[in-house]
Structure 1
Amino acid sequence: MLLRRTTALLLSNYLQPLRRHFTNPISPVNQDELLRVCTILYQQQNSPDSRLHSKLTSSNFNLTHEFFLQVCNNFPYSWRPVYRFFLFTQQNPNFTHSPVSFNKILDVVSKSRNIDLFWNILHETARRHFVNDKTFIIALKTLGGARELKKCVEVFHLMNSNGYGYSVERLSKVVKEMCRVKLVEEAKFVVFKLKDFVKVDGVVYKHLICGFCDKGDMIEASKIWNLMVDEGFEPDVDAVEKFMETFFKVNQFGEGLKLFQTMRLKRIDELGVSTYRVVIKWLCKKGMISHALEVFDEMRERGVRVDNLTLGYVVYGLLAKHRVREAYQIVEGIDVVDISVYHGLIKGLLKLRRANEATQVFREMIKKGCEPNMHTYIMLLQGHLGRRGRKGSDPLVNFDTIFVGGLVKVGQSREGIKYVERVMNRGMEVPRFDYNKFLHYFSNEEGVVMFEEVGKKLKEVGLVDLADILQRYGQKMTTRDRRRNTFPIIEDTNNE
């Protein structure tokens, strides 16, 4: 009988949130009410509580969880109105907060850098048992970013005292997120301070290794690696790949190849396409095409499936060494050529200063239904005009009038001034022209007209390839949705 009652109680507790969800589904928020409340919060954010609460009460709005979240979203850069609305909602007997709403207010207050207030709300969250993995992540990212290292550790003790026990899985998630936002030193501090309470596993060590690799600190990464091995954990393939790639990036090429050779001797069965791809990519970038082809052949002999991204690196490596026929033979043997292979072709041809042939590849990829992305256009523009631009023969269509004038036209005069200086003093070294930003500025309806007009002028003076590139880009700017989906602004435009 007791077992039956206990089972019924547990089942009731489990089903209660589901009943609440289906009996009270998310209702749409009245936008007029939302605007009215947000206006009051903005105008009265420094008023006494009595006045603010009176204004909010008299506005007669329907307070729901969705309404609360939308109010928070309407103040992305201001925490005070949201926090004061949060205090108001706590006095409403018909409204109950949830873990989602508490995480939201924690996230909002975290941007204020008011650590005392944040700490108080975190205590309240733990006391009400509204804590989940996201709460830990918000807390550690906020406190770690403010260098409150003792409080970072105290978070785990606080949660443990409120029923959320120490968990290596939760610690792993927190460390991963901290490393992702460059708080790897702080994450390491937390891990080592909690060693008496949480038994660290290989996953936590892997996240720390990857974090230090992203930071470029190979000394600390090596220390964590050695500690991991001493404790009996074998680094997984992800950590090995990250270590190798970081060695390559910081010009410790020999160390990276030694690590790869160790994997070949001791753990060759674990080597897959991603590990081979890392090595082939950097061997091709370094011009070591013979070694790259040896690795490529080994990969195929072992039966590892070769993907198009790896083939694209091989094609680029062959072209960079003037082995054009071999590169085209590889491309011809691919069943479905995708954008990564086309990019390898275009980069290699531009490396050989064959901009016209690269443009022909660009036309072919469009003809076969492979849509170019922003990086495709940037590579081609750099190939035709150079990284710092070049002076054209016709004053109507040269670099200065099109690109520098275009920057001024979209209100980026300061950017344009740097390139005006190079016209005044040709001996002056100026920064590389950022084609990425320029194309992003003109990713709108104005860009459609501008690139069409420029394309016509370029064709009049015989620059057909450059005209086709710009006109094609302008055509893709016709609709806003297409721009957003196809051409996000990118950070790395290096086509080496």
Structure 2
Amino acid sequence: MLLLRRTATLIFSAPLSVQPLRRHHHHISPVNPDHLLRVCTILYQQQNSPEPRLTSKLASSEFQLTHEFFLQVCNKFPYSWRPVYRFFLYTQSLPHFTHSPVSFNKMLDVVGKSRNIDLFWDLLNDMARRHFVNDKTFVIALRTLGGARELKKCVEFFHLMNSNGCEYNLGTLNKVVEAMCKSRLVDEAKFVVFKLRECVRPDGVTYKNLIIGYCDKGDLVGASKVWNLMEDEGFEADVDAVEKMMETFFKVNEYGEALRLFETMRFKRMNELGASTYGLVIRWLCKKGMMARAHEVFEEMRERGVRVNDSTLGDVVYGLLTRRRVREAYRVFEGIEVPDLCVYHGFIKGLLKLRRAGEATQVFREMIRRGCEPTMHTYIMLLQGHLGRRGRKGTDPLVNFDTIFVGGMVKAGKSKEATKYVERVLNRGMEVPRFDYNKFLHYFSNEEGVHMFEDVGKKLREVGLVDLADILDRYGQKMATRDRRRDRSPITED
């Protein structure tokens, strides 16, 4: 693996100004849904008909053509270019209607998603001649052409814009590179950047986008090459890029490389280290169980006056619990004046890892008492802690995993999903698949589920499973339906 070269060069480049977008303001009039449905039906049914027939059908529908109406038609056919393009040709023949960059971009997006590159290229030429090109056009064009591996056309597009007076600048290029990297087109974005170096010289933002793109792709070698090239050209890595590289190193278990990069930041750019960088390092050190190092970073963070957010405190609590330092975890937790959901989740997750499901449920009750509302993730963690990821049979034959969850899925009409879990009863030697509590809770997120969870809670209390009863009963009270989730007032009583 290519290791990062660390230099002490501190050179910043002033970003060039971004070309302002040409804005067209139109009065948005309401669209008649009946007219929209009628027009879309005609376009779908007559998309292969001769031009006179389609024109006649559309003219007889008596709809009011506006920009909003055209955009709504495009939304009805997000991946089908023919109906949209036929409608576009029809609107071109109407003297009272003029297209705008917004409508052109919308149609361009539809044609691009359908991968009709020939028509897409013709539309780009038409937009360039009309001077309808803006930054959004550049993004749509490069994402489409890059996704189709039309690399020559990617570069040719920029030259086409220049020849038609639609000049681009560094800001435009950076927006394009960022959009391509988010679409996992990092190699294509790098190709465009290096082919256009003579016209637009990349800056630190360009390299940052490429580094983040390669890291998202999991290509540390590619990210390191861009990093080294950036340093050779005198640019310094942005803090976001540094954090992304560190996070990627952590994810592939290269803790040594990540920590060396962090030490480099501490030595050369201490003033730029903030809560996000410290929090990232502490989180991964706690996951690894390196609590001595995490405590050292945590203390440095507090000594420098960097605000410690609750997410970092939650990671510290979880890390202490994974090392079985329960008393220290409780001291940290009790020292937080108003813990938020991240802290409670870290505490619950750590206790469940120690197989202390009862204590985790007590923390769950405490968070409700303090007015911190649980989420779906809270319930899933607790259910997995009490019943296991693959389910665990209870002591009472009437109240156990099979009757509550597998039987509940059958009742919800999900017999096929429940069949594989029935096999655990028929053949104990067969590997039991992981049970999806998320789907189960989703199936009963309705009024029927409210009564079901209430009944199950009563049965669980009768056999002494009070913790599990409280979890399911609370879910039924506040999380089962959308209306209840909207009005989740804090519960003060236990």
TM-score of the alignment, normalized to the shorter chain, above 0.5: yes
Q: Structure 2 regions of 5+ residues with no counterpart?
A: 1-19, 489-494
Structure-2 change in CA distance of 1:439 and 1:478 (3 Å):
closer
Separation (CA, whole Å) in 1 of partners of 2:242 and 2:405? 44
Residues 203 and 235 in structure 2, CA contact (< 8 A), matched pair in contact too:
yes
Residues 445 and 481 in structure 2, CA contact (< 8 A), matched pair in contact too:
no
Separation (CA, whole Å) in 2 of partners of 1:482 and 1:109? 42
Amino acid in structure 1 at the alignment position of 2:405 = F
Structure-2 change in CA distance of 1:81 and 1:201 (3 Å):
same
Separation (CA, whole Å) in 2 of partners of 1:249 and 1:350? 23
Structure-2 change in CA distance of 1:428 and 1:177 (3 Å):
farther
Residues 443 and 483 in structure 1, CA contact (< 8 A), matched pair in contact too:
no
* TM-aligned CA deviation for residue 464 of structure 1: 2.1
Amino acid in structure 1 at the alignment position of 2:262 = F
* Matched residue, 1:325: 327
* TM-aligned CA deviation for residue 143 of structure 1: 1.5
* TM-aligned CA deviation for residue 170 of structure 1: 1.1
Separation (CA, whole Å) in 2 of partners of 1:476 and 1:160? 58
* Matched residue, 2:105: 103
Amino acid in structure 2 at the alignment position of 1:103 = N
Separation (CA, whole Å) in 2 of partners of 1:410 and 1:127? 58
Separation (CA, whole Å) in 1 of partners of 2:114 and 2:352? 48
Q: Out of 419, 429, 453, which is 2:455 matched to? A: 453
Show CA shifts across 1:157-207 (max 9, x none).
Answer: 222222222311111111111111211121111111211221000111111
Q: Out of 259, 275, 287, which is 1:273 matched to? A: 275
2:333 counterpart SS class: helix
Mean Cα deviation higher: 182-191 or 401-410: 401-410
Separation (CA, whole Å) in 2 of partners of 1:205 and 1:485? 46
Counting only pairs closer than 5 Å after superposition, residues 195-344 of structure 1 correspond to structure 2 as 195-344=197-346
TM-score (norm 2): 0.89
1:322 counterpart SS class: coil
Show CA shifts across 1:356-396 (max 9, x none).
Answer: 11112112212222111221112111111112222233344
* TM-aligned CA deviation for residue 437 of structure 1: 3.1
Structure-2 change in CA distance of 1:203 and 1:335 (3 Å):
same
Show CA shifts across 1:433-481 (max 9, x none).
Answer: 3323333343334433433333333233322222222222233346536
* Matched residue, 1:386: 388
* Matched residue, 1:474: 476
* Matched residue, 1:371: 373
| Identity rate, percent | 77
Counting only pairs closer than 5 Å after superposition, residues 55-204 of structure 1 correspond to structure 2 as 55-204=57-206
Show CA shifts across 1:201-257 (max 9, x none).
Answer: 011111111111111111111111100111100101111111111101001111111
* TM-aligned CA deviation for residue 483 of structure 1: 5.2
* Matched residue, 2:6: none
Q: Structure 1 regions of 5+ residues with no counterpart?
A: 1-13, 487-496
Amino acid in structure 1 at the alignment position of 2:87 = F
Q: How many residues align?
A: 468
Separation (CA, whole Å) in 2 of partners of 1:106 and 1:484? 39
* Matched residue, 1:6: none
Residues 144 and 152 in structure 1, CA contact (< 8 A), matched pair in contact too:
yes
* TM-aligned CA deviation for residue 431 of structure 1: 4.2
Q: Out of 417, 422, 425, which is 1:423 matched to? A: 425
2:329 counterpart SS class: helix
Amino acid in structure 1 at the alignment position of 2:331 = Q
Mean Cα deviation higher: 309-318 or 363-372: 363-372
TM-score (norm 1): 0.89
The alignment's C-alpha RMSD in Å is 2.3
Show CA shifts across 1:20-72 (max 9, x none).
Answer: x4xx6211111221222122222222322221111111111110011111122
Show CA shifts across 1:396-432 (max 9, x none).
Answer: 4332333334444445444334333343333333443
Greater relative contact order: 1 or 2 (C-alpha under 8 angstroms, separation 6 or more)? Answer: 2
Show CA shifts across 1:247-295 (max 9, x none).
Answer: 0100111111111111111111111111111110011000111111011
* Matched residue, 1:359: 361
* TM-aligned CA deviation for residue 85 of structure 1: 1.5
* Matched residue, 1:402: 404
Mean Cα deviation higher: 320-329 or 387-396: 387-396
Amino acid in structure 1 at the alignment position of 2:326 = V
Mean Cα deviation higher: 396-405 or 348-357: 396-405
Separation (CA, whole Å) in 1 of partners of 2:331 and 2:284? 22
Structure-2 change in CA distance of 1:48 and 1:466 (3 Å):
farther
Residues 213 and 221 in structure 1, CA contact (< 8 A), matched pair in contact too:
yes
Separation (CA, whole Å) in 2 of partners of 1:259 and 1:290? 19
Separation (CA, whole Å) in 2 of partners of 1:452 and 1:216? 46
Amino acid in structure 1 at the alignment position of 2:137 = T
1:462 correspondence with 2:464: yes
2:336 counterpart SS class: coil
Amino acid in structure 2 at the alignment position of 1:358 = A
* Matched residue, 1:11: none
1:371 counterpart SS class: coil
Separation (CA, whole Å) in 1 of partners of 2:250 and 2:195? 32
* Matched residue, 1:27: 29
Structure-2 change in CA distance of 1:17 and 1:166 (3 Å):
closer
Amino acid in structure 1 at the alignment position of 2:31 = V
Amino acid in structure 2 at the alignment position of 1:290 = A
Separation (CA, whole Å) in 2 of partners of 1:206 and 1:84? 42
Residues 444 and 480 in structure 2, CA contact (< 8 A), matched pair in contact too:
no
Residues 460 and 468 in structure 2, CA contact (< 8 A), matched pair in contact too:
yes
Separation (CA, whole Å) in 2 of partners of 1:413 and 1:114? 42
Separation (CA, whole Å) in 1 of partners of 2:284 and 2:411? 40
Mean Cα deviation higher: 59-68 or 461-470: 461-470
2:404 counterpart SS class: helix
* Matched residue, 1:492: none
Separation (CA, whole Å) in 1 of partners of 2:470 and 2:251? 35
* TM-aligned CA deviation for residue 17 of structure 1: 7.0
* TM-aligned CA deviation for residue 322 of structure 1: 1.7
Separation (CA, whole Å) in 2 of partners of 1:431 and 1:158? 56
Residues 166 and 197 in structure 1, CA contact (< 8 A), matched pair in contact too:
no
* Matched residue, 1:490: none
Residues 286 and 315 in structure 2, CA contact (< 8 A), matched pair in contact too:
yes
